[in-house]
Chains A and B, each alone.
Chain A
Amino acid sequence: MAQFLFNLFAAFTLVCALGVVVNKNAVNAAMCLLLALVGVAGLFVALNAYLLAFLLLLVYAGAVVALFLFIIMLLDTKGEQRPGLKHASLVARLFAAALVGAGLLSFFARSRLPEPALGPASAAVGAELKLYAYQLFTTYLLPVQVIGFLLLAAMLGVIVISKKLDAAEDAP
């Protein structure tokens, strides 16, 4: 049953992710992204990581994709006609596809994947809110702090780059 659910959600996620890439309409692509995230959340549930699945649905599927849709509608992008393939670009695509194909082929031909050399099973951090929060503020204290400063730097950058040139401000 677990294997069946994994296959189901994995296939669902892959198909939806493909839809994000090939869809010409930006709104449809965003909706496909939403479905792909739901599929990933399903995979998390299959791993007993209920909290992560919940957070993924709440933050990404709920907030981030909604923001994407807002921005797409604000910019009013139409499904634009794609430029025809140039000769060089076609050759490059074929080459890249052949490279990936060869890699996958050799991967399957020699597919004696070793059993993951996992250590003693650690508690699933994403299972329970209390454990998750405890880990976040003890073991992973430093990464959380670094993310804080990363967001601060990003915010500074957004403000500086997106602020309109103001003639009055530039005058000495």
Chain B
Amino acid sequence: MNLDYAGLFHALRPETSLVVGALIILGLDLSIFRRHTPVERLNLALWIGALAVLAAAAHVWFAPEGPVFGGVLILDKLAMATRLGVLGLTLLTFGVASAAPAPRNPAEQVAIILFATTGFLLMAAAQQLLLAFLALELASLSLYVLAGFDKTRPESAEAALKYFLFGGMAAAFLLFGFSLIYGLTGSIELPQIAGQLFHVTLSPLLVVALVMVLVAFGFKAAAAPFHLWAPDVYEGAPTSSAALIASASKLAGFTLFARLFWREFGAVAGSVSSAHGEPGWLPAVAVIAAVSMLIGNFGALAQSNVRRLLAYSAIAHAGNLLLGVIAAGDAGPAPFYYYAATYGLATVGAFGVIAVAERAGPCQKITDLAGLHRRSPLLAGCLAVFVLSLAGIPPLAGFFGKFTVFSAALQMGGLAGPAGWLAMLAIALSALALYYYLVILKQALVAKPAPDAAPIAVPAIAKLALVLAAGLIVLFGVNPSLLLGLF
């Protein structure tokens, strides 16, 4: 094995920037800024964190392509695009965190967000089972902590516990699946595994391994029937944590598992392009995608809580994204990457609006948003952009994301096979989804405010983050090649 330590260090400069930033934040908070107020400490931590993220983004941009350290990491176009997307979403999460009330341990919160982002970056590039698992665990463990960060609300603790128990179970399944794969192929490197599996037919043991990895994927993607944690976590976790769980974590998870499935199990993919397809993991993913779309969309119809509604919408979007992963064999990773990245932008933005609105009072029910256009026109306008993008209205990015994923799925075999049927189901359910998205907008843009509702003051940093997210959604929607051109 070619052990090139200098090359490894060069390739890991983004992760190093993030970790060093986290350590500086912790050190400064414990020494110089110990006696300051939590708000000052939060702002300082956020600024240092933002600098670390920007430094990491610059390193990602200028990193050379190719395998690193004998193929432990692969820096290809998908890895670069995902890393940039994750860093951008983390930056916007910092904006959300600046709008939310300062927690008791602000520096620790920002540091753990940076650790989670480090995990996401490694997930985006991992090409070895061991590293993939550890990166996933670094990210997940940080997210469990972030979900339980608000110690004043019991819901936060409940969210963290549920997330942790589900996540621990999923991690156990993933590890069991990985060990079976190692037993079958004798390797933990993705290219070698793919080479070994090329000669192997779909044996029972391989099916067990596939199912176990699929369970972990379903958990990470919040796809049905592994979605049960999502509504409680979105509702109970602090707003900035929920934003990170809903956006950057999704993007990195989809990249990791798409790489794992197509790179490693490509030989046993099976087929869903015709009605009598071959067995493999594609049909299983197609079933999960269909169930997610149905449960997500119909579940969202019944919600009266904004965050739970966003959670069920996330489950529905996970179904669409799985369709993108199915289509990635023919169309490449660009469609599902575009979808995941723009979906992340819209979700972070929606949580940002909720975080700002919570400064003036509770914002849990949809009716708490009533009269937002009077209380803060900017907030209402941004919310309209985010929600309409989630619904898939042109010219916003959500529309083009759906368009590119569905057309890629339809090109797999037209309406002759499950992929085409799935695309038609997704299109029909998108029309249904418009209803519950418009319910949010009706409250925000049409309904009259409660008589005692005060105007909402938007802090400058949060204003910048929200306008940036909304602007990016419009920009990527009008000019999709800005994102697709990364491939």
CB within 8 Å of B: which residues of A?
103, 106-107, 110-114, 116-119, 122, 138-143, 146-147, 149-150, 152-154, 156-157, 159-161, 165, 169-170, 172
Contact = CB atoms under 8 A, between A and B. Distances in A.
Interface in B121-142: 122, 130-131, 134-135, 137-138, 141-142
Interface in B28-57: 37-38
Contact of A150 (B12, B134, B148, B152): B134
Contacts of B257: none
A107 B134 CA distance: 30
Given A117-B184, A117-B199, A143-B130, A149 B105 contact: no
A161 B156 CA distance: 11
B451 interface: no
B144 A157 contact: yes
A139 B26 CA distance: 31
A83 to B, nearest CB: 18
A161 B145 contact: yes
6 contacts: A106-B204, A117-B200, A142-B12, A149-B118, A150-B141, A172-B38
Contacts of B144: 157
Residue with the highest number of chain B CB atoms closer than 10 Å, among A103, A107, A112, A161: A161
A114 B142 CA distance: 40
A153 B187 contact: no
Nearest to A156: B108
Interface in B325-348: none
Interface string B178-213: 000001111100001000100111011100100000
Interface of B: 1, 3, 5, 8, 12, 19, 26, 37-38, 69-70, 72-73, 104-105, 108, 111-112, 115-116, 118, 122, 130-131, 134-135, 137-138, 141-142, 144-145, 148-149, 151-152, 160, 183-187, 192, 196, 199-201, 203-205, 208
A95 to B, nearest CB: 12
A113 B203 contact: yes
Given A111-B204, A113-B203, A117-B185, A153 B141 contact: yes
Residue with the highest number of chain A CB atoms closer than 10 Å, among B111, B115, B148, B200: B115
Nearest to A107: B204
A113 B108 contact: no
A45 to B, nearest CB: 19
B187 A150 contact: no
B162 to A, nearest CB: 15
A117 B134 contact: no
Contacts of A103: 208
The B interface, classified by DSSP as helix, strand, loop or mixed, is: helix
A14 to B, nearest CB: 15
Nearest to B38: A172
Nearest to B149: A160
Contact of A142 (B1, B72, B186): B72
Nearest to B118: A149
A103 B211 CA distance: 12
B134 A139 contact: no
Given A143-B131, A150-B138, 9 more contacts: A107-B208, A116-B184, A117-B185, A142-B131, A143-B130, A146-B138, A152-B115, A153-B141, A157-B112
Contact of A119 (B5, B142, B186): B186
A142 B200 contact: no
Contacts of B72: 142
A52 B309 CA distance: 48
B130 A140 contact: yes
A94 B103 CA distance: 45
Residue with the highest number of chain A CB atoms closer than 10 Å, among B148, B186, B192: B186
Contacts of A106: 204
B19 A149 contact: yes
Nearest to A121: B186
B137 A150 contact: yes
Contacts of A152: 115
A23 B149 CA distance: 34
Contact of B138 (A107, A113, A153, A156): A153
Given A113-B203, A139-B1, A150-B137, A160 B115 contact: no
A160 B108 contact: yes
B200 A160 contact: no
A152 to B, nearest CB: 7
Contact of B196 (A117, A141, A149, A150): A117
A138 B8 CA distance: 12
Contacts of B160: 161
A110 B132 CA distance: 32
A161 B148 contact: yes
B75 to A, nearest CB: 14
B52 to A, nearest CB: 14
Contacts of A107: 204, 208
B115 A153 contact: yes
B134 A147 contact: yes
A112 to B, nearest CB: 8
B126 to A, nearest CB: 10
Contacts of B8: 141-142
A143 B128 CA distance: 10
Nearest to A171: B37
A142 B112 contact: no
A156 B111 contact: yes
Contacts of B116: 153
Contact of B142 (A110, A111, A153): A153
A157 B142 contact: yes
Contacts of A154: 141, 145
A62 to B, nearest CB: 23
Residue with the highest number of chain B CB atoms closer than 10 Å, among A103, A160, A170: A160
